[in-house]
């Protein structure tokens, strides 16, 4: 739904990385290269960004 502010496992701040990550994914860049560029090196943080499903817009549409 909403990207967490901090990694659940290590506590690193990752919430501010979601918008640049999602924009570059839409442009067709490789997820590995994007995560390396954003300095997300721990696999616990990488999995949160890679597995996140952005449903907030769909939920807001249903609530109208």
Q: Residue 48: which CATH number?
A: 1.10.10.60
Q: Which two tokens stand for residue 17?
A: 């990385």
User: Could you give the number of structural domains in the chain?
Assistant: 1
Residue at 8 is within a domain? no
What's this model's pTM, rounded to 2 decimal places? 0.83
Model confidence pLDDT, tens digit, residues 25-56: 999 999 999 999 999 999 999 999 999 988 88
Model confidence pLDDT, tens digit, residues 1-17: 688 999 999 999 999 99
Asked whether 34 and 43 are in contact (CB, 8 A), the reply is: no
By residue range, what is the domain housing residue 38? 15-63
């Amino acid at each position: 739904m909403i990207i967490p502010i901090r990694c659940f496992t290590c506590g690193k701040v990752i919430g501010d990385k979601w918008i640049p990550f999602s924009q570059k994914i839409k442009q067709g860049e490789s997820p590995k290269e994007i995560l390396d560029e954003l300095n997300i090196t721990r696999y616990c943080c990488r999995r949160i960004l890679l597995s996140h499903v952005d449903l907030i817009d769909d939920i807001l549409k249903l609530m109208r």
